[in-house]
Chains A and B, each alone.
Chain A
């Protein structure tokens, strides 16, 4: 079924209004209008067929210089997995030294995307 979806781009602060026409279920797109950059185009395509978001949070530490170390999915993951991702993140404890960029969980939730540290803590 062909539908039309109005999307506000979240890539940059400009917040372009993009209109996508196509069949979301089949994943086919007939037209995209209103984007002003390549990133915006890619965002609109995904947002129409399969919305993606970067998940950011923090994980508990043990024997480290701070109680938490911030983490993110390296790239965006399916939006519907955000809460499942949080359930996973709540159960993680890292120990000692963690360096920004370290992989905390490889292939997070089977998405093929790694969960990585976005900050550093020292071992104590």
Chain B
């Protein structure tokens, strides 16, 4: 009997204990690491959402403006007290139109004309812009004088804010810009459906103004449009020509190397430096007009050029060499090969790059500030040489205004800008999806 009475403890078949390699800890680290990544993406997306929410929640109301419907009696005694309008055209231009609107409003609300303080309160209910509105109406058709016209008149910016519920009406009336009396009138008019929010066409047509309700993006839109046309007409041909030379003709040497490094650098130069260049060269040296969209367009062209060149060169490089060899093989000259075969095939890529470059130029503000596009321009520019502003510059100018109503307008303008940019970028993506060829 040997001691086969086994020693159960003897680990003949038992496996050796696993070496501790800290798997648990390492897997925890793995999970943590992954979580960091998700958090980072979440932070990025959170800010995207916060930014969009901030802009849209502040700005969507800007597309509606409160207006009040008035039956205005175009009283000749007020418009033209001395009855000289047949001889002196200035009478119709300088007449006291706001009084007409005030009287119409007083009649509607049953305020006696003798109640001076109430009349003054009443006068603040609608915008000073009524002067221009009625003047244009009368000047365009003087036979209206003496008749009663039903007109939608803009309310003042404060009333507009109150109507939209942006002013806290629970605080004491001395601490807000709208008096209790005005609120009462407002609610009365609202009940009669004589005051309501209507689509704000003025936002797209008015120029600069110190009153929020009559200021709009009209000048800025025209200025931006001119600049985009100039950028397109200059930077596309120049950019494409430069890329063709660098990609198809230039020999690899010192000079082309310098050009290449140079273009990459220009793409990273701060945009404000281009503004300094425009100020020193175009305005001070060539005496071009300040604030003109022509100069703005040229500055933005120089800024966009590197982007377009880089995109175009990538598009040209993507065309396979076999195409070039085939064209040369059937007897085309080098220029014919490039312009008849390579360029058409690269066109979608070039177009995509150009649109993205244009979108970038559309949103650029800093260089335009330096060439004087921060001007108070009330009249629409006719030619690119007239003073104008641009969409982002208008946003900057409104952002510096203190009034609540301007915050709303600023956000509204940003929404307009973002919509333009979105349309351009989506067009670029569609173009790429639709025409991009994989060789």
**A, B assembled together:** no
